[in-house]
Structure 1
Amino acid sequence: MKKSLLALACGAFAYGAAEFVMMGILPQAARDMHVSIPTAGNFISAYAIGVCVGTLMLIFGRKMGPKKLILIFMAIALAGDLFSSFAPNATLLVIGRFVSGLPHGAFFGTSALVAKTLADPGKEAKAVSLTITGQTVANMLGVPGGTFIAEHLSWRLAFLILAGVAALTVVLVAVWVPHVEPVKDAGILGQFKFLTKPGPWVILLAVFTGNTGIFSWWSYVSPWLQKVGGYTSGMVPLLMMLAGFAMVIGGLVGGHLTDHWRSAGTAGLGQCLSVIGLVLIFFMPGNRFDTAIFTFIISFALFFISTPQQLLLAEAGKGGGELIGGAAVQVAFNFGNAVGSTVGGGMLNMSHMNYHFTALGGIPFALTATILLAIYSLRYETDTDAYERLQPIDV
C-alpha cells in the first residue's frame, strides 16, 4: 500500500506543480511572451479549463482498470509539459497549458478511488490525504524550485523537469500500483446519476466559489509579495516554500480530522479560515511579516479542505459514479481557479494595479463557500455516530 501511495503521490506532485508553478513564474513568462501580468493570467486559466474539459475522458474510460487510466493520464501530462516548455509564443503556451490540464481531474478522481480501495477500514481519508500530499509537496518544493529556476535560468526548464517527473510516475505506477477492479459499469448516464440529488451540487458549488475566492488573490501571489510585501523577486521562492509547507500541514491535518469528524464541517472550518485571511490582506497595509503570515494562513486552508471535499463527492458517486464524483471536485476546483484568476485580473485593472484588491474580489466568493458548507453539514451530517463510538469504562 505504501509503495502504491508513493507512486500516486508522485503523480500528484507532477500535477500539483504543473498547476501552481505558473503563479510563481508568471512575471518571467509574461515578460518572455510580451504580455501584461493580467493577460498572462490566461496561462493559469488555460490549465484550469483543460481540467474541466478533460474529465470527460472518464466517460469513455469507465470500463478500463484504474491503473491503466492513470498511466494514460500521466502520458498526456508528459506531452503537455513538453509542449509548454518549447512554446514559442503566448498562444501556443496557452495550448500547452490546456493539454497539461486535461487529465488533471480525471487523475485525482481515479487515484482517490485507488487509495480508498487499498486503505484499511476507517483510514480512507488518511490514505487519500497521503496521495494529495504529493500535490502539497509540489507547492512546498516544486513551485519554489520552479520559481528559483525561472529567476536564475529559465521558466521553460521548470516545465521540462515536470515532464521528467511525469515520466518517472509512469514507471512507478507500472511497477508499484496493483490491479484494481474497474468501478461498476452503470452506463454513460448512470455515472452521473448521483448528480440528480441536491447534496453533491451544494458541495461542487462550495468548491467552485471557495477556489474562485482564493485564486482571485493566489493567482497573483508572486507580484503581490513583491509590490505589497516588499520582497525582492529572489525572495519569492522562499515564500512559495512557506506556502507549500502550510499546504502539506493543512492537507494532513484536514485528512486526520475528516476521519474523526464531519467531512463538510471540516471543509467549512478551513474555508472560514481563508475568508479571514482574505479580509486581512485587503485591510492591512502589508509588510514582510504580514504577507508571510497571510500566505501561510490561506495556503493552510486551501488544502485543509481538499481531502474532505474529495471524499464527499467520491462517496456520493457510489454505484458507478465514483470516478466522476472524485473528478468533479477537481473540475469545480479548477473552474474556480480559472474564474478566480479572471476576477483578480479584473480587480487589478479596475484598481490601477492595487494588489490589495485581488483579495477584495475573492471575499464574497469565499464567504459563499463557507455558508454552503455549513448548510450542507447541518442538513446532511447531523448523524455523526458519536453514540456508537463511545467506549464503556468499568469503574
Structure 2
Amino acid sequence: MAMAFGTFGLGIAEFAMMGILGSIAQDLQISITQAGHLISAYALGVCVGSPALLLVRKFPLKRILLLLSVVILAGNLCAAVAPNFTMLLIARFLSGFPHGAYFGVASIIAQRLAPEGKATQAVSIMMAGMTVATVFGVPLGTALSNAISWRLTFVLVSCWSIISLYGIWRWVPRMDALPDTGFKGQFRFMKSPAPWLIVFGTLIGGGGVYCWYSYINPLLTNVSGFSVSSLSWLMVLAGLGMVAGNLIGGRLADKYPAGLVAAVVQSCMVVTLLSIFFFASVPWLSVLLMMIGTAGLFGVGSPLQYLIVRFSKGGEMLGAASIQIAFNVGNALAAWCGGLALQAGWNDRYPALVGVPLAFIGCMLLFTLHYKYERQLSKQTE
C-alpha cells in the first residue's frame, strides 16, 4: 500500500495533463498543439529513465525506490513553479524520468514481500494507485486547475509525493540489492524470445485498446449522444473499470497461469473493440463497453508485470521497467493510428475498429508466450 501511494501520484502526474492542457496553453500563451508536447515530454522521460536504472543497480531496492520518489517530488515541484513553456517542458521530462523505473523496482519488491501464491495480487495492489488516481486524483487535479490554477495540480502531486516518500521510508522493509550480473549481464535476458513477446504483446495489444480510448471523448459525445457536461462522471466510471480490471487480473493470475490470463483478457478486448464500433450509438451499452474496455486495458498489467520479472533473470529491474516503456510507446503510436482514421474523414467509431487488428496481434503474442514459454518455465520451477 505504501508503494501504491507512489503510483497514485504518478497516475495524477501522467493523466491529469489531458484535462489541464487548455489552462496551461492559455496561461503561457501557447497553442494547444504546443501544450501537447508536455505529454510527449513525460513519455520520453519514461523511456529514458527506465534504462537509467542500470546506473543504480548495485543499490539496495528500498534506497532506489526512495531516490525515485525524491525525483518525482522534484519534477512536479519544478513544474508547479515553471516560469515559461521551456522550463515546464524540462520539468515534465524530469517528472516522467522515474515513472517506469518506479514501477519496475516496486513490482520486484511487491513480489518479494508477497505470501506464497499471492505475488501477482501484490503487484496489482501496488499498481492500484494509478487506477485509483483516474477515479479521484485526476478529477481533483482538473477541478483545481479550472477553479484556481493549473499549477495547483502539480502542487497536489508534490504534496502527495511527500506522503509517499514517508510511507516507503516507514513501511517498506530494507532489502538487499539484486545480484549484480555486470552491465552486459543486465541485457542477457533479451536473448530469449519470451521477454520480447511480453513487451510487444503489451505495446501492440495495449496500443489497440488505446486507439479507441485516446478518442473516447468525441465518441461518447458525437456517437453515443452524451453531453459534454456528463464527461466528468463518465470518466469516473472509466476509472472504476480500470481499478476493477487491475485487481481482478491480479487475483486471476495467482490462480491460473499469468500469461494465459493476460492472453484471454486481450482476446476479450478484440470482441470489445468490435462491439464498441457496432454499438457505440446505444448510450447504456456504450458505457458498459467503455468500462469493460478500461478493465481489460489494466487487467493485463499486473500479470505481465509479474511475468517479465520471471523471464528477465539477471536484469529484473530493466525488464520490469520495460513494461512501462511499452505501455507509453503503445499509447503514443495508438493515438497516431486512431487519428489517421479521423483525418481520413471517418467518424468517431473508427479508431476502435483500427485497434481491432492490433489487439488481435497482441492476443496472439500472449498466447504464444503462454503455450511455448510459460508452461515450460512452470515445469522447470516444479
Q: TM-score, normalised by structure 1?
A: 0.88
Find out whether 1:257 has 2:252 as its counterpart: yes
Decide which of 95, 98, 101 is 1:103's aligned counterpart.
98
- State the Cα deviation string for residues 320-376 of structure 1 (Å, max 9, x = none): 311111111111111112222232333333337x43233233222222101111121
Which residue of structure 2 lines up, in the alignment, with residue 201 of structure 1? 196
Question: Counterparts in 2 of 1:304-315, with a 5 A limit?
Answer: 304-315=299-310
Instruction: Give matches, 1:15-34, under 5 Å.
Output: 15-26=10-21, 28-29=23-24, 34=30
8 Å Cα contact 1:23-1:220 kept in structure 2: no
> Which residue of the partner structure matches residue 349 of structure 1?
343
Residue in structure 2 matching 1:122, options 117, 126, 135: 117
Moved more, 289-298 or 243-252: 289-298
Equivalent of 1:43 in 38, 46, 59: 38
- The answer to whether the aligner puts 1:372 opposite 2:368 as a matched pair is no
Matches within 5 A, 1:189-228: 189-228=184-223
SS of the residue corresponding to residue 122 of structure 1 reads coil
Q: Using the alignment, how far apart are the partners of 1:122 and 1:167 within structure 2?
A: 32
2:226 counterpart of 1:238: no
Which runs of 5 or more structure 2 residues have no equivalent in the other structure?
none
Deviation at 1:31, TM superposition (A): 5.8
Instruction: Give the C-alpha shift of residue 41 in structure 1.
Output: 4.6
Q: 2:328 aligns with which of 328, 331, 334?
A: 334
Report the AA paired with residue 354 of structure 2: G
Moved more, 24-33 or 64-73: 24-33
Code of the residue aligned with 1:192 in structure 2: it is F
**Aligned ranges 1:170-181 → 2 under 5 Å:** 170-181=165-176
Q: Give 1:26 deviation, angstroms.
A: 4.7
C-alpha spacing 1:35/1:294, structure 2 compared with 1 (3 Å) = farther
Tell me how far 1:79 sits from its aligned partner. Answer: 2.3
What is the CA-CA distance between 1:382 and the residue it aligns to?
3.7
For the pair 1:161 / 2:180, whether they are aligned, the reply is no
Q: Call closer, same or farther: CA 1:385–1:330 in 2, change over 3 Å.
A: closer
Give the Å deviation of 1:111. 0.5
C-alpha separation between the residues in 2 aligned to 1:206 and 1:385? 20
How has the CA–CA distance of structure 1 residues 48 and 247 changed in structure 2, closer, same or farther, with 3 Å as cutoff?
Answer: same
Once the two structures are overlaid, the 10-residue window that deviates more, 162-171 or 188-197, is 162-171
Question: What are the within-5 Å matches in structure 2 for residues 312-323 of structure 1?
Answer: 312-318=307-313, 320-323=314-317
- Tell me if structure 1 keeps the 8 A contact 2:259–2:307: yes
TM-align CA RMSD:
2.6
| Partner Cα distance (1:286, 1:227) in 2 | 9
Contact 1:48-1:337 within 8 A present in 2 as well: no
Q: Report the counterpart of residue 69 of structure 2 in structure 1.
A: 74
| Whole-angstrom CA distance in 2 between matches of 1:289 and 1:24 | 24
Instruction: State the secondary structure of the residue aligned to 1:168.
Output: helix
Q: Which amino acid aligns with 2:208?
A: G
Q: Shift of the alpha carbon at 1:62? A: 0.3
Change (3 A) 1:160 1:347: farther
Deviation at 1:29, TM superposition (A): 4.8
CA deviations over 1:40-71 (Å, ceiling 9, x no partner): 55433332221111112211000111111111
Structure 1: gaps of 5 or more residues: 1-5, 390-395
Residue 30 of structure 1 deviates from its aligned partner by 5.5
8 Å contact kept, 1:278–1:362 = yes
- Mapped partners of 1:330, 1:85: distance in 2: 25
Indicate how the Cα distance of structure 1 residues 385 and 364 shifts in structure 2: closer, same or farther if over 3 A, else same: closer
Q: In the TM superposition, what is the alpha-carbon distance from 1:168 to its structure 2 partner?
A: 1.4
Matched, 1:278 2:273: yes
The alpha-carbon deviation at position 88 of structure 1 amounts to 5.6
Deviates more, 1:265-274 or 1:83-92: 83-92
Question: How much has 1:23 moved relative to structure 2?
Answer: 3.5
Q: In structure 2, what residue type is equivalent to 1:11? A: G
Q: Greater CA deviation, 18-27 or 237-246?
A: 18-27
Identical positions, percent: 39
Separation in structure 2 between the aligned mates of residue 385 and residue 54 of structure 1, nearest angstrom: 32
Q: Mean alpha-carbon deviation: is it higher for 306-315 or for 330-339? A: 330-339
Q: Deviations 1:2-37 (Å, cap 9, x if unpaired)? A: xxxx21010011112222223444555556564346
Query: Residue by residue, what CA displacement relative to the aligned partner does 1:171-207 show, whole Å, maximum 9, x if unpaired?
Result: 1111111101110011111111111111111111111
Corresponding residue to 1:289 among 284, 288, 297: 284
How far the C-alpha of 1:159 sits from its partner, in A, is 2.3
**Kept after mapping to 1: 8 A contact 2:341/2:354:** yes
SS in 2 for 1:381: helix
> CA separation in 2, counterparts of 1:266 and 1:339?
25
Instruction: State which drifts further: 119-128 or 14-23.
Output: 14-23
SS at match of 1:299: helix
Residues 323-332 or 277-286, more deviating: 277-286
Which deviations, in whole Å up to 9, do the C-alpha atoms of 1:189-231 show, x marking residues without a partner? Answer: 1111111111111111111112222222323334443333443
